[in-house]
Amino acid sequence: MTSSYDSGLRINGQRLWQSLMDMARIGATAGGGCNRQALTQEDQMGRDLFIRWCEDIGCKVTVDEMGNIFARREGRNPELPPVITGSHLDTQPTGGKFDGVYGVLAGLEVIRTLQEQDIRTDTPLEVVVWTNEEGARFSPAMMGSGVWSGVFDLNYAWQRTDKAGITLKQALDSIGYCGETPAKARPVKAALELHIEQGPILEQEQRQIGVLTGIQGMYWFDLTIEGQPCHAGPTPMNQRRDPFMGLSSITQKLYELAEVHAPWARVTFGDIRAVPGARNTVPERLILAVDLRHPDKSVLDAMEKAFRQIAENECKRLGLTHNIHEEWRLPPVPFDTLCINAVRNAVDQLGYPTMEMVSGAGHDAGYLAGVAPTGMIFVPCEKGLSHNEAEHATPEDLEAGCNVLLQAMLDLAQQ
């Protein structure tokens, strides 16, 4: 095989689309989406199909202790660190056809293209499937890449349970995907992740490719507000210690905080639980999930400080008590200049409309950036919808993103 390559090389967009549609049949939902939650039978079927496709083109496949899959195409110098790409195959319960799976199958399409064109890169190339990126069945999210990158301890991850009390280790064993390879980072020349944007910016700006310079930071908290339970009828409003009164003022002030740090600040309240949860009883306790995000760590830290002060002031004013539990913390992640430039060069060469941006969502690339030079590529998704059965991306945009991935990987894979 030759070590040079044609800068005019392109992937097979029809084949990429067909692979996505074939994978989408596994766990297909009535609403047109996918339900392949991590380490379920559906996830196993998706993994099996991916491995079969990889072995059909001569890749060597290994599986590590976290179920992460690595499909390797050898380079001219097997001793060199590989260039890797990939994402995840697991979905939300009512997920779409493209979130995660696009990044995996685009990597596969790159390898297929190189194989049929008889092109050998200097460094090895690997396509990776990371376990439990979504965090829908097992919390926290991005556990496979997190263990591999040293963020999480393996035993901690293995002992995480789903709602039925099944541990992640038991689930791995049940589908035959607890491998023997250590789930531990090794030398990697560069890592790229291709993904749908999961937001509306590229579509609104009429740009086909997003060149990612980093991932915004995100801090997750559980805010517990405690008051006094009492009967909904006899107790006057001005004599209540009602947690909802504190909740109302706290959430409003946090929305105002997001406006202060616009346009990149994000404040989200994605889950709320009232205890005891009776219709005609003022609750004793409210538990609110709070999600704070910003690409600048100093701003995000200031938002956290303001959040804590707001909660303290409002609860004290209303005679309530509160507690803030930190659930997860992912500081802003800057991507590597080498990878960013490889993507920039690929886009310039291909001539696609582009813009530079920061990811608003968390991705496996965020953990990989701690142990390897890392970058990301975005393509638009219709109306910015994701984590939704209506999630959609056009074949043309998906093909364009995969062409960028191809050229960027070829660039990075030269010795």
Q: Using one digit for the tens of pLDDT, what is the confidence trace for 268-307?
A: 999 999 999 999 999 999 999 999 999 999 999 999 999 9
Can you tell me the distance from the alpha carbon of 178 to that of 180, in angstroms, rounded to the nearest whole number?
Answer: 7
CA gap 184, 330 in Å, rounded: 20
Give the pLDDT band of residue 8 (cuts 50, 70, 90): confident
Please tell me the distance from the alpha carbon of residue 202 to that of residue 225, in angstroms, as a whole number.
Answer: 39
Residue for token pair 């946090």: 254
- Angle CA 176–182–184, to nearest 5: 125
Average pLDDT, the chain: 96
The whole-angstrom separation of Cα 400 and Cα 196 is 12
**Domains of the chain by start residue, with CATH:** 13-216+332-412 (3.40.630.10), 218-329 (3.30.70.360)
Closest CA to 62 of 223, 203, 181: 181
Q: How many CB atoms lie within 10 A of CB 342?
A: 27
The pLDDT tens digits for 31-46 are 999 999 999 999 999 9
Distance of CA 285 to the CA centre of its chain: 32
Helix (H) or strand (E) holding 19: helix 13-24
For residue 4, is pLDDT > 50? no
Predicted TM-score (pTM) above 0.75: yes
And the tokens for 399?
A: 């093909």
Contacts of 249 (CB under 8 A, 6+ apart): 314, 318
Asked whether the predicted pLDDT for residue 3 surpasses 70, the reply is no
Omega prior to 263 cis, within 30 of 0: yes
Answer whether residue 127 shows pLDDT above 90: yes
Contact assessment for residue 97 and residue 19, using Cβ atoms and an 8 Å cutoff = no
Question: DSSP string of 81-115?
Answer: PPEEEEE-----TTB-SSTTHHHHHHHHHHHHHHH
The predicted structure's pLDDT at residue 1:
39
For residue 322, the SS3 value is: strand
The tens digit of pLDDT for each residue in 70-109 reads 999 999 999 999 999 999 999 999 999 999 999 999 999 9
Residue-level pLDDT at 360: 85
* pLDDT reported for residue 5: 56
C-alpha 118/C-alpha 285 separation (Å) is: 64
Do residues 360 and 216 lie in contact, with contact meaning Cβ atoms separated by under 8 Å? yes
Confidence of residue 148 (pLDDT cuts 50, 70, 90): very high
